[in-house]
Structure formats: structure tokens, C-alpha cells
Amino acid sequence: MAKPKFQLPCFILFLSIFLCLFHGESSELELDDESWLNEEDNEVIMVQSRHDSRNKCDFSTGKWVYDLSYPLYDSSCPYLSTAVTCQKNGRPDSDYEKWKWKPQGCSIPRFDALNFLGRMRRKRIMLVGDSIMRNQWESLVCLVQGVIPTGRKRVTYSGPSMAFHAMDFETSIEFSWAPLLVELKKGPKNKRILHLDLIEDNAKYWRGVDILVFDSAHWWTHSDQWSSWDYFMEGNGLFKSMNPMVAYEKGLTTWARWVDLNLDPRKTKVIFRSMSPRHNRENGWKCYNQKQPLAFLSHQHVPGQMLVLQGVLRRMRFPVYLQDITTMSALRKDGHPSVYGRVMDQAEKQHPRDFSSDCSHWCLPGVPDIWNELLNDLLKE
């Protein structure tokens, strides 16, 4: 009997279809330098990506939508630092408080303080990082504190950490100062030494916590003038200079090793929040007098810190969740304090450009509230 003429072509066609279905994406995406903005990295768990049988929702892709029902609290919250209470400090506009993030194809649930505290009952949640993570901690505390009676909440301090206690829920929302995660110590002649392979002095405060949210990026990129260290040290080696991204990878690898060796994923959830964008060009005046979000980014740039972070997370055994807030926040140059990080008298208000402009931190209420709505949704899973 003669063999079918199209057996080999049919087999090749079948094999091609099978491979496409198995891999789930075309080779063209692998060549796209900006695909990180749209495609989930299968080796790094992205907080924003939700999957079900019908659709896919990426919380990091969307737009800012004006919503008069925001903000969720006001600047009279007693736990806010003066530097972020832009309304109290005289900022004349308030629309920056009224924008919510609308992801493509889905929505973020509005923050419900009682629901959050109920789920966090008898738990410790700790945010670890720099002053922008402190920014986020103040936001989270203000989001919950309004539903707690005055006598049933308090703040305590221990070393580099502070904790807000919701006493009736036996819940603590904590912040631990560790902008580089690894240890920065004074050495001979009072020189500041950044130990790329030491972490326990900071990490001892992280033990026993149920939910850890980390952030570390900004301090690694400070210029020589603003650098927090004089030398790097790794093992017995002392280095005057090192490529910042090489140093960042070494520091993150030390952190990753500590997480892998010391935490149990059955008891502790670990999240790493991506870099908060700065709008510091033009000597910090890029954000001054900005009153609404950008509709889109004129060019999309992958921060070096993001690439390093993704590489370190891929090599970890512990399931760390990467929460990408970088792109969505890059649209919000209107959300920074600029000159309203302090109260100005009438004479000073006539010459605002005589003062420094903060385009790194965020006014509260504001953008970090949305980060916490995303965090809250993650913690429901």
C-alpha cells in the first residue's frame, strides 16, 4: 500500500503547533528589549500577574484614573512625617491625592482597613528598606489606624525598627531601617565600610516576622558626593571603588542567601518591592509644579537595578514575590513633595525655587497608598 504523500509535512506542522503551545510565546518576544513591561518572567513570581481560565491581569500595566472618592485618609493622620504632609506644608493643589491605578482588564479592590486587620490578626508584617519604604509604612499605618480606637493603638521602637500595634487584633505593622540590607560599619579612622557579605546585624530584626516586604535600590546608586560608604569589603578584601551594579548584586546575593537559609516559606511570606522611580533631572525641579500624571512614558527604560534583582531572585530556592511598582509610579511626577517637604512662610512662598526640591519621596496621601492596595490584594492569596 502506498504511503500517504503528506505524512512528513503533517508531522512537521503538528510538531510546530505543539512547540508553540508548550512554550506559550513566540521567539520575537525574546528579542524585545522592552518585553519586561508586558510579559511575566516565569522564573520570578510577579505579584501583579493573576491567572485564571479566562484572562490574565497584569497589575503593573494600566493607567491612572481620577477618582473623587480618594484619598482614603487625610494629611491629619498623626503618623505622617512632616516631610510628606504636602497639604499641611502649603501645597496649593490636591488632585495628586485623587488618582487610583486601573490595571488593564481588571481592578484593584479598594483598601478595607477592618478586612485587612482581620486577616492580619496575630501577625507581624514588616517593611524593610530605606526612607521610601518608611514612606510606604506611614501610608499603610494611616490606611488602618482610623478604624482603631485611640487607646487601642500605639507605636514602639527597638533599635532601627518601629512598630505600630493594633492591640485588639494583636497585629503589628513594622518598619526596619536597612537601606542597603547588608551591613554598613565604621572602620579605622572612622571610615565607613560597606560589608557586602555581612547581614546579621540587620537581619536579626527580621526573624519571627510573618510577612516581610523588602526594598533596596536608591542608596546603591548615589554618586560619590552622596555615597554612604568610603570602602567596600568582601571577605578580607577592601575596595575603594566597584561598579555599583556589581556591588548591588553582591549585596542582594548575601540577602538572598540569608532568606534561603533562615526562613521557612510555610511560615513567612517574602515580597520584594521594585525600585521607586525618581524624577530628579534638572537638579530636582522635574517634579515641581506638576499637577497630573503622565498619560504614557515617552521612552521605556529597564532600570539596571530591576535586571540585577530579577537575576538574584531567579537563583533563590525561597519563593520571593516581586512587586513591580516602577512603571506605574514613573507616570506620577506630580506625586512628589518638591518644595513642600517643609512649611514655608509667606516670604519663602514668593521664591520657592530658592529651596531644594524633593522628587524622590511621595506626598501622603498619595502614590504609596496604591502600592499598599496592591500589597493588600496580594496578601489575600
Catalytic annotation on 336? no
Q: Give me the catalytic one of 131, 210, 230, 377.
A: 131
- C-alpha 150/C-alpha 130 separation (Å) is 28
Catalytic annotation on 210? no
Q: Give me the catalytic one of 274, 358, 360, 369.
A: 358
Catalytic annotation on 358? yes
Q: Give me the catalytic one of 216, 324, 361, 369.
A: 361
**Among all residues, which ones are annotated catalytic?**
131, 358, 361
